[in-house]
Amino acid sequence: MDHGKTSLIKALTSIDTDRLPEEKQRGMSIDVGFAFVDLQKINTRVEIIDVPGHERFLKNAIAGLSSAQGLILVVDANEGLMPQTAEHLKLAKSFGIEHCIVAITKIDRADPELIKLVKEDVEEFLRKENVKCFGFYLVSSKEGIGFDELKEGIAHHVESLPEPPKDAFFRMSVDSAFHKQVKERLLDLIQNSKGVIKLAEVVSKLKITQGILGYILKDLRGYTVVEGYLLDEKSAKIEELESFKKLMEFMQFSIKEENDLFNNVRKFT
């Protein structure tokens, strides 16, 4: 669902929240993204979480909404309300967010009458859902229209939010940008190991979890994982890789034969 959330955030904060290669290729958000805007008027930094709009990535949207206190509902001026728009608002309500501001995007491509109809539809929808709206803001990320007004609207929204309870459960959103540093250290480690290294050694030396290593390896091109080893395909020859794979297969076969023999001897005795 391309209503222009990520483009809006980039125009507002100068931060591109689509960081994954797949997101760049598809032109759509897959995972949550993080940005911030400093509002000088109220001397406050507002953290912004970009949640995926597509129904296939609903779990990621839930992860992003779980720590939010406010909501910017983004609606395309040409498309109007979509099923995912309603779904995301209901999700926000389930986390106790019953207030929002509305940003109607891509106004440079829409007729004024159409924009008026979309605004009326959203107003009616919010009334039915019993969600308080702190204002409508017409923006164009392409032309840079309406962002000063949107910042003022966000500031007003933030000032109107109640103070969280002192004994509320603490949540801190962690931006996954640190993976870039870990990835660079991993590449250095592989080069220093002449292109072959045990995964267990990587985890130990980089002081990371297996989950984080798996996340990094998903986007690592030019490397092969074989039987618990990470191999650099660029520095190692194809024949060497094949020999390594065959060696590992032979070792596995030998271990299996030894285990079978041991089991047979135990049965005999």
Q: What Cα–Cα distance (Å) separates residue 104 from each residue in 16, 37, 124, 139?
A: 19, 19, 15, 6
Active site residue 6: yes
Query: Helix (H, G, I), strand (E, B), or coil: what is residue 63?
Result: helix
State how far the Cα of 242 lies from the Cα of 230, in Å rounded to an integer.
Answer: 14
Choice among 54, 142, 179, 205 that is catalytic: 54
Active site residue 2: yes
Query: Helix (H, G, I), strand (E, B), or coil: what is residue 155?
Result: helix
Asked if 122 and 77 count as a contact pair (C-beta separation under 8 A), the reply is no
Choice among 3, 6, 88, 151 that is catalytic: 6
Choice among 2, 16, 108, 175 that is catalytic: 2
State how far the Cα of 169 lies from the Cα of 171, in Å rounded to an integer.
Answer: 7
The residues near 12 (Cβ < 8 Å, ≥ 6 apart) are: 35, 37, 48, 147, 150, 151
Considering only CA atoms, which of 203, 187, 182 is closest in space to residue 235?
187
Considering only CA atoms, which of 181, 182, 195, 265 is closest in space to residue 232?
195
Active site residue 38: no
Q: Say which amino acid occupies 87.
A: E
Choice among 5, 88, 106, 151 that is catalytic: 5
Query: Helix (H, G, I), strand (E, B), or coil: what is residue 240?
Result: helix
The residues near 242 (Cβ < 8 Å, ≥ 6 apart) are: none
State how far the Cα of 232 lies from the Cα of 221, in Å rounded to an integer.
Answer: 9
Residues with catalytic annotation? Answer: 2, 5-6, 54
